[in-house]
């Protein structure tokens, strides 16, 4: 299963809304999609699993939606600490592929 993320880079100001896209080349339902945040020098962390369930401790400005082949991650009001690369990963079938990532830059 190939997972494609867009855009490659998103440059926005604090307080703005960010919408990241993740598309699979075949249907993966709604349970098998996870979003991660990855900052330099840190381990990735789970933001959203089952496409729309926030992981423990994740602020409610992060939300996920979608099913089938099209998914999105929304950051409703960007904060400076949200600067990172965001990845989606599918768990519908092996190999458990990642998208290529979307870099979010805060102006």
Binding site for other proteins (CB under 8 A): 31-32, 34, 36, 38, 43-46, 49-50, 53, 55, 85, 87, 89, 91, 94-101
Please report how close the Cβ of residue 88 comes to other proteins at its closest, in angstroms: 10
Starting at the edge strand found earlier in the chain, the sheet holding 33-38 runs 9-12, 102-106, 84-90, 33-38, 45-49, 53-54
Q: Least distance from C-beta 19 to other proteins, angstroms?
A: 19
Q: How far is the CB of 77 from other proteins (least distance, A)?
A: 24
Cβ nearer to other proteins, comparing 16 with 44: 44
Give 66 or 99: the residue with its C-beta nearer to other proteins. 99
Q: How far is the CB of 76 from other proteins (least distance, A)?
A: 21
Q: DSSP per residue over 24-57, as a string?
A: ESS--TTTSEEEEEE-TTS--EEEEETTTEEPTT
Structure tokens at 24: 């699979």
Distance CA 52, CA 30 (A): 8
């Amino acid at each position: 299963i190939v997972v494609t993320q867009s855009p490659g880079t998103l440059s926005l100001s604090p307080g703005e809304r960010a919408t990241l896209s993740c598309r699979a080349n075949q249907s993966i339902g709604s349970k098998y999609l996870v979003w991660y945040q990855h900052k330099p020098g840190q381990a990735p962390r789970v933001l959203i699993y089952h496409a729309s369930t926030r992981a423990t401790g994740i602020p409610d400005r992060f939300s996920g939606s979608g099913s089938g082949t099209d998914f999105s991650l929304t950051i409703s009001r960007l904060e400076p600490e949200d600067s990172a690369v965001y990845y989606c990963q599918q768990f519908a079938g092996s190999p458990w592929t990642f998208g290529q990532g979307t870099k979010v830059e805060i102006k």
